[in-house]
Amino acid sequence: MKRVFISGAAAGIGLATARQFAAAGYAVGIGDINADALAQATADIGPSSQGFALDVREPQQWQAALQAFCGEGGTLDVLINNAGILYAGRVEQIPFEQHARLIDINTKGIVAGSQAALPYLRRSASARVLNLCSASAIYGQPSIASYSASKFFVRGWTEALNIEWADYGIKVCSVWPIFVATRMVADAPDMKAASKMGVSLKPEDVAAALFKLAQQRKPPVHTPVGMQTHIFQSFVGVAPTALVRRIVAYLADYRG
């Protein structure tokens, strides 16, 4: 039986992804810091899932969870670095401690998870590391500056490891959704761009993209999810920077 481990999988995109892989016959490891949500998620998915208390910032917790899930000398076929948080608002209105917490979770978590999973991934014949990136890594987004910056980190980390870990036969990829109907987006009313553009993606849309990448023999490094992301990525690729800046500012209700 193939194995997938997903961080931040007790809700939202992570939970939808856990359900997708479980339905396809995978053994699913669910890591999350929310104990109550974790217990509910594993109960809902059933015996193919195992839950693990996981603060993604802590390498020792990653190591313990993966050893318990994969077993001594075991394999891991897919690692999905999904855990992340978001604070919205002007940079000066968000306390430094919140910026720092976001950066720790969204960047240190992916480093700790990748390093801890490597020994198990190397034993798989077709290992994948799939990272949750974002359309906010295409051009820096006002109102979610630290979140956007953290996703630029995910983009760079993915591209670098895609090259480094090719030596081990491990394919490292990312998905780039825009606004997804999750609690994280719903709890961020200061994201004016979401109100103007609308929230057209569901967690299941992102889960489907992740599952497809896990099955592809030659997956792309980055996969935009949703028509809005495709359009934005194409536009930024050809439009003058001044025009891109002006439109991004308009969507976020800034004068620019």
- pLDDT for the residue 38: 96
- Please report the domains of the chain, with CATH numbers, ordered by start residue: 3-251 (3.40.50.720)
pLDDT digits (tens, 9 = 90+) for 79-113: 999 999 999 999 999 999 999 999 999 999 999 99
Q: Which of 26, 120, 147, 171 is catalytic?
A: 147
More confident residue, 200 or 88: 88
Q: Which of 26, 87, 120, 151 is catalytic?
A: 151
Is the pLDDT at 189 greater than 90, yes or no?
no
Q: What is the mean pLDDT of the chain?
A: 93
**Cα separation of 233 and 3, whole Å?**
32
Give CA separation, 101 vs 68, 107, 155, in Å: 27, 10, 19
Question: What are the φ/ψ torsions at residue 75 (nearest 5 degrees)?
Answer: -120, 155
140-177 residues labelled b (16+ CB within 10 A) or e (exposed): ebbbbbbbbbbbbbbbebbeebbeebeeeebbbbbbbb
Can you give the pLDDT at residue 173?
A: 98
Listed in sequence order, the residues at least 6 apart from 8 whose beta carbon sits closer than 8 Å to its beta carbon are 14, 31, 32, 56, 82, 83, 84
**Single-letter residue type at 123:** R
- 212 given a catalytic annotation: no
- What's at 170, amino acid-wise? I
- The mean pLDDT of 193-220, rounded to a whole number, is 86
* Residue scoring higher pLDDT (178 or 218): 218
For the question of residue 171 being annotated catalytic, the response is no
Predicted TM-score (pTM) of the model is 0.94
